[in-house]
Structure 1
Amino acid sequence: MQPPQMHAPFEAADGVAVLPAWLPVPGMGVLPANAFLIEDREPILVDAGVGVLAEPFVAALRTLIAPERLRWIWLTHMDPDHTGALGELLSAAPEARLVTTFLGAGKLGLSGVSPERIQVVEAGETLALGARTVTAVRPPYFDAPETIGLADRDNGLLFCADAFGAVAAAPADSLGEAALAQGMAVWARLDTPWLGDLDPARFERALAQVAELSPRTVLSAHLPPARDMTAALLEAARTAQQASRAPRAAAA
């Protein structure tokens, strides 16, 4: 089995870089584990890398920006594949504040993070970075209750935490629709096993909120950047929910 690997950063959209890692999923393939850097007057890092890759993550970040320039670190949730280099970054970026929800702030506090380093946001609130303003949004599905994504509406970007994640056969720049549907179904069963228990009408309302945003680029922590694929992602999410429901229906 291949160990987790950090790959070279690349541009996902104007002013947005991906810091990609790939994690082995034994017997199934690999899973992307992305963080993102948004350049602006107040640069913001979205998530903080994978724990076992903290050192190469910070090294990759330094090829994009001097960490001391960071003003914000947006933590979509507190899983170790999203907070892995946080300790190093808190020291390397002394002016950066951590953005999370009320529950996320509580979890950070239990880890010893000072409240003065934390900016609490909830869905619908905005954060001005300079030329960009981002809005906190709740992804349509997630694995941790503190999860909060963000949308850059003016630039057509949606950062959606774990939502729309997909297991892939091998590291890739993109996934075709068939591989996307299959990979999302696999990841949903692993990461959000409750998805099949969710009322389909309620799930459809959550997906409709994504459609209303009309993002041109969807940036998931666990999917290669998806450009002009929102309709395909929404349909694959429906398929993933149906696949999650099927075993329960058969057992009944």
Structure 2
Amino acid sequence: METQVSEIADGIFRLSTYVPDIAPPAGFTFNQFVVLGEEPLMFHTGLRKMFSLNHAALVRLLSPERLRWIAYGHFEADECGAMNEWLAAAPHATPAHGQTGVDVSLNDFSDRAPRILQDGEVIDLGAGKRVRFIDTPHTPHGWDAGVLYEESTGTLLCGDLFTQLGNDRATTDGDIVGPAAAAEDIFRYSALNPGMGATLRGLADLAPRTLALMHGPAFTGDGSAALRALAEEYDRRVTSELRERLPSAA
């Protein structure tokens, strides 16, 4: 395995590790993102066992010691498993997440005191880069779930939203909702709940131009339309689940 580096928006880079043994024959990608600026930020640390691969990829962009922020989507091994390894390599970096994530996980897990990000809070990374934290509880899963939106490029760092199989390209302007629905059928990874559609439509109002997927290619195009289509897909699944389960519970 090796970690590939691709620029998906101005000053935003995707570090992608493809694992063919997960869901073969298509395989599965694990992506991290680095937002450059005067205070560079990494979104997702990757799995602890992939740290050496990802570290080797990052040094092609910048010295790890320059990292100032390390954030992630929700508490799970591929999102933050290598947090402490990165903190050791980046002595000036601060781990950051939302209130729930810090209270229930990061305060204990992190070797360095974390920064609590309030819903809607913006971190100015300098050099024109600004990232906004947005709470998305239980969307797609995890009560601590959240995303980051880089305002200057219109890039939404999506976490596990739109998860899909394969490794055919770093970016796409094609359909990402159909492949995400297919992956949902396989993994059933989403915490289906009635609020998912509203949460995704709220993200669509940002009108993102790039959707940075943790598992899959980065999407360039009408991010609002893709998010609204995903909201409709989840609304359909929630309604279907309720119709199946309510009669048997009566």
Query: Above 0.5 in TM-score?
Result: yes
Q: State the alpha-carbon separation in 2 of the partners of residues 114 and 154 from structure 1.
A: 29
Paired residue for 1:122? 118
1:71 & 1:112 partners in 2: Cα distance?
Answer: 15
| 1:144-183 matches, cutoff 5 A | 144-168=142-166, 170-174=167-171, 177=174, 180-183=176-179
2-structure distance, mates of 1:86, 1:145:
19
- Alpha carbons 2:73, 2:146 under 8 Å: kept: yes
Most deviating of 69-78 and 98-107? 98-107
In structure 2, the partner of 1:223 is 216
Whether the 8 Å contact between 2:158 and 2:211 is mirrored in structure 1 is yes
Say if 2:33 is the partner of 1:10.
Answer: no
Write the distance in 2 (CA, Å) between the matches of 1:218 and 1:59: 25
What is the deviation of 1:143?
1.7
Q: SS of the residue aligned with 2:152? A: helix
CA–CA distance in structure 1, aligned partners of residues 144 and 232 of structure 2: 23
**RMSD (Å), alpha carbons:** 2.5
Provide the rounded CA distance (Å) in 2 between the counterparts of 1:176 and 1:225: 9
Give the aligned partner of residue 66 of structure 1: 63
Q: Distance in 1 between matches of 2:174 and 2:230?
A: 8
Q: Which runs of 5+ in 1 are unaligned?
A: none
The alpha-carbon distance between structure 1 residues 35 and 108, as it changes in their structure 2 partners (threshold 3 A), is: same
- Give TM-score, length-normalised by structure 2: 0.84
- Secondary structure of 1:9 counterpart: strand
Distance 1:145 1:164, change over 3 A: same
**1:75-154 equivalence runs, <5 A:** 75-106=72-103, 107-111=105-109, 113-115=111-113, 118-130=114-126, 131-139=128-136, 141-154=139-152
Deviation of 1:164 after TM superposition, in Å, equals 1.8
Change (3 A) 1:177 1:235: farther
Percentage of identical aligned residues: 25
Q: TM-score, normalised by structure 1?
A: 0.83
CA spacing shift, 1:239–1:86, aligned 2, 3 Å: same
Alpha-carbon distance between aligned partners in 2 of 1:249 and 1:167, rounded to the nearest angstrom = 29
Task: Give unpaired runs (5+ residues) of structure 2.
Answer: none
Amino acid of the structure 2 residue aligned with 1:149: V
8 Å CA contact 2:14, 2:33 repeated in 1 = yes
Letter in 2 for 1:238: E
Q: Flag the 1:15–1:176 CA change in 2: closer, same or farther, 3 A.
A: closer
Moved more, 72-81 or 34-43: 72-81
- C-alpha contact (below 8 Å) 1:58/1:85 kept by paired residues: no
Q: 1:243 and 1:59, CA in 2 relative to 1: closer, same or farther beyond 3 A?
A: same
- For residues 96-132 of structure 1, what are the alpha-carbon distances to aligned partners after superposition, in whole Å with 9 as ceiling and x for unaligned? 00111223223123235232xx111021111111122
Question: Mean Cα displacement is larger for which, 132-141 or 58-67?
Answer: 132-141
